[in-house]
Amino acid sequence: MAKKSDCWVGFDLGGTKMQATLFDGAFKPLATRRKKTKDFRGARNGLLGIIKTIEDVIAEAGIPRKRVRGIGLACPGVLNLDRGVLIQSPNLGWRNLPLVAKLEKHFGCPVVIGNDVDVGTYGEYRFGAARDARCVLGVFVGTGVGGACIYEGKIFRARTGSCMEIGHMHLQPKGDLCGCGRHGCLETVTSRLAISAEVAEAAVRGNAPHIWELAGADLTNIRSRTLRTAIERGDKAVLDIVTHAAKYLGVAVASLVNILGPDVVVLGGGLVEAFPDLYREQIRKAIREQSMKPLAAGVRVVSAKLGDDAGVLGAAALAAEAYHAQHR
């Protein structure tokens, strides 16, 4: 059995920053450290960066290392969960990093890894907006569109890795080219990148003057907040584009309700954080109108509560779960 004095490290490996948070046995945060991910080029340096950040957070909390009973990591990209290896992460440019083996050797405690969207949704299930629901569908809209499902207390996963790649549900066989190489995936319509591209087009045409003023036509300047500001200042075309994207996301979520029959749909990610009401409303409407009645009845649609902390909280909870499963 775990004791109150036990501590857990949750680690969130993002494309922009990495964050380590040390939690006590009741998952109260004791210390947090962040570093810029891009400061660590390549998998070998990346590993050193992760180790250093965890070392720092333990030192900052001032606890003996042996009180750390487990470490959990939320990672982007393709993972082999059984072997504990980060196979490929296009955003980081890292490949074949045996995270679990390396970190277990260094820290002398059990280490688990999980897909970032899975782990964030697990965080919301354990501590946030979807607490204790029997079946949770997590939908995260940012640069891409990510999904996760927590089913009867566990992350729904594929044999060796993660699944719930809802951003690559195939909706329009003749649609736009997707990052995965196919045409018409959900991401090509509803991701922040797709929206930014459409908005930039409108700006060039003169239909989104505030976007033009705030960001020009450079997609990398058009962030979720930029969209929000432009709408607040009166860019009606931008509101139309975001609303259309949210409706389209609703088509996919309504199908997912038919497939998975979730009790709670948690919406998160940068775009949802910028437009929480718009997204909740459009997704609720889509489920009401497009899902089958017995499955639509009683689905709660909520916004994620934990923000940036979902990853570290979910990762720490996973580490504790794995520890308890071994010491039962």
8 A C-beta contact, residue 47 and residue 99: yes
- Does the protein bind its own copies through residue 259 (CB under 8 A)? yes
CA 249, CA 174: separation in Å to the nearest integer? 18
**Minimum distance, C-beta of residue 292 to its own copies, in the bound complex (Å):** 6
Q: Work out whether 192 is an interface residue with its own copies (CB under 8 A).
A: no
Closer residue to its own copies in complex, CB, 48/158: 158
Give the separation between CA 163 and CA 37, rounded to whole angstroms.
25
Nearest in space to 169 (alpha carbons), one of 259, 281, 109: 259
Cβ 104 to its own copies shortest distance, Å = 24
Q: Check residue 98 and report its DSSP letter.
A: -
Q: Which stretch binds its own copies (CB under 8 A): 4-12, 17-25, 108-116, 150-158?
A: 150-158
Is residue 318 within 8 A of residue 72, CB to CB? The reply is yes
Our finding on whether 11 is near its own copies (CB under 8 A) is no
Q: Using CA atoms, how far apart are residues 197 and 218, in angstroms rounded to an integer?
A: 9
- Helix (H/G/I), strand (E/B), else coil: 17: strand
What is the per-residue binding string for its own copies in 265-304, x denoting contact by CB under 8 A? ------------------------xx-x-xx--x------
Is position 177 an interface residue for its own copies (rule: CB under 8 A)? no
**Which positions ≥6 away from 308 have C-beta within 8 Å?**
12, 19
Interaction of residue 98 with its own copies, rule CB under 8 A: no
- The b-or-e profile of 258-270 (16+ CB within 10 A means b, else e) is eebbbebbbbbbb
Q: How far apart are CB 186 and its own copies at their closest, in Å?
A: 9
Nearer to its own copies, 27 or 151 (CB): 151
Phi-psi domain of 126 (left: phi exceeds 0; alpha: psi -120 through 50; beta: other): alpha
What one-character DSSP code corresponds to residue 223? -
Piece in contact with its own copies (CB under 8 A), picked from 12-20, 105-113, 138-146, 165-173: 165-173
Instruction: Give the residue with the Cβ less far from its own copies, 111 or 254.
Output: 254
Stretch touching its own copies by CB under 8 A, among 99-107, 168-176, 202-210, 221-229 = 168-176
Which is nearer to its own copies, 5 or 96 (by Cβ)?
96
Beta carbons of 141 and 279 less than 8 angstroms apart: yes
- The site that binds its own copies (CB under 8 A) totals a number of residues, namely 41
Q: Applying CB under 8 A, which residues contact its own copies?
A: 78, 87, 134-135, 147, 151, 156-166, 168-171, 173, 180, 182, 251-252, 254-256, 258-263, 289-290, 292, 294-295, 298
